[in-house]
Amino acid sequence: MSQSHTTAVAPVKAAPREGAPQAAGSPLGAREPRAKQRDAYFDNAKYLAIVLVAIGHAWEPLRDDSRVVSALYNFVYAFHMPAFIVISGYFSRSFDASPGRIRRLVTGVAVPYVVFETAYTLFTRWTDQEPDRPVSLLDPLYLTWFLAALFVWRLTTPLWQRVRWPLPIALTVAALATLSPDIGNDLDLQRVLQFLPYFVLGLCLRPEHFRRVRRWRVRLLALPVLAGAVAVSYWAEPRMTGAWFYHRDSAQELGAPAWFGPVMTLAAFGFSTVLVACFLSWVPGRRLWCTALGAGTLYGYLLHGFVAQGSKYWGWYSPDWIHRPLGVLTVTLAAGAVVTLLCTPPVRRVFRFVVEPDMRWAFRSEPRERPAVPAQTREPGTRTGSRALS
């Protein structure tokens, strides 16, 4: 991920344990007792989204050499993180701040944030040649911003589930954030607030909404919409900045008048939401070779950044042919292969102690939690949460 963004997507623990990135979890993935309890559709969606995250980061050093690459980069950034965040919100609906879920939030989101924020700082001291770069848990580095944001969003879930108009309120909060250049960088609060509407949208969704976007009429309509979005991105690339989709800066910091911030908040939300729907409409619902990898997207999200950062330092982008069409294709395939490898069970077993630490020793034992919703009334197709994105 570029320092401007990212990926991958962490969730809350579920009855059938889902998985981040969503991290971020939620988009990201956690262990589960039995694979048959998982929903293949969402695992496929998380896997495809994390591949797009990795490809986006791999394209970043190539943007200055190609208008096409830059346009595709902006197109992907318009929906890959919103898709992760929507899925994270959807799998956070059962978060009720009970002791068990707070414990899983700490071990599945907060602890990985501390570990990887420290690890990325130490790593970039070497790759960026800044030996004095401080370790700061208040200033997320690179892709760790998503874990910090997910922690905050999930803690506020009970509030969004009780207010009368959650999505309009979240959009208002995001719009006001674009008017406030003094918010500062603590916990990357601009992104926490500006991406908030996508998380709240996920909280508002139900299984039937995902079934509707997968109808054939919607899928057929999605094709010209996606093609048109690519064309618009190509046209807009030299005319406006794609930073509006990074949700990292206020309007003033992007050189726009203050009133433009709320306008772009609504425009970007509408544009990105349509693209997320188009993306989700084409996600396969059956089990594929990559379905099992959806449980490990948090690993792919957190680990691929070391390769993306190191590739620049190691000079992988130095050869001239890398900046030509064949090189772009090679970089794209390599990014997809690397993040796929990082989602596999062997890698997850090696890094589970830092991505999904058990840490039962750190918490008091609690009485067995009763299901938030009786089994006979629970919505079909839902789960009770997961450590990250599920």
Buried b (16+ CB within 10 A) or exposed e, 165-180: ebbebbbebbbebbbb
CA 200 to chain centroid: 14
Q: Are 276 and 9 in contact (CB under 8 A)?
A: no
Q: Give me 151's structure tokens.
A: 């922690």
Query: What single-letter amino acid sits at 304?
Result: H
Q: Are 358 and 370 in contact (CB under 8 A)?
A: no
Residue found under tokens 């922690």: 151
What residues are paired with 13 via a beta bridge? 386
Dist. CA 84–CA 86, nearest whole Å: 6
Residue found under tokens 């630490």: 357
Q: Are 60 and 128 in contact (CB under 8 A)?
A: no
pLDDT string in tens for the chain (390-residue length): 444 444 344 444 343 433 334 333 444 544 433 444 789 999 999 999 999 999 999 999 999 889 999 999 999 999 999 999 999 999 999 999 888 899 999 999 999 999 999 999 999 999 888 888 888 888 898 899 999 999 999 999 999 999 999 999 999 999 999 998 888 778 899 999 999 999 999 999 999 999 999 999 999 999 999 999 999 999 999 988 889 999 999 999 998 999 999 999 999 999 999 999 999 999 999 999 999 999 999 999 999 999 999 998 899 999 999 999 999 999 999 999 999 999 999 999 999 999 999 888 888 876 665 555 544 444 444 443 334 555
What residues are paired with 22 via a beta bridge? 24
Q: Are 305 and 1 in contact (CB under 8 A)?
A: yes
Q: Give me 293's structure tokens.
A: 């990898």
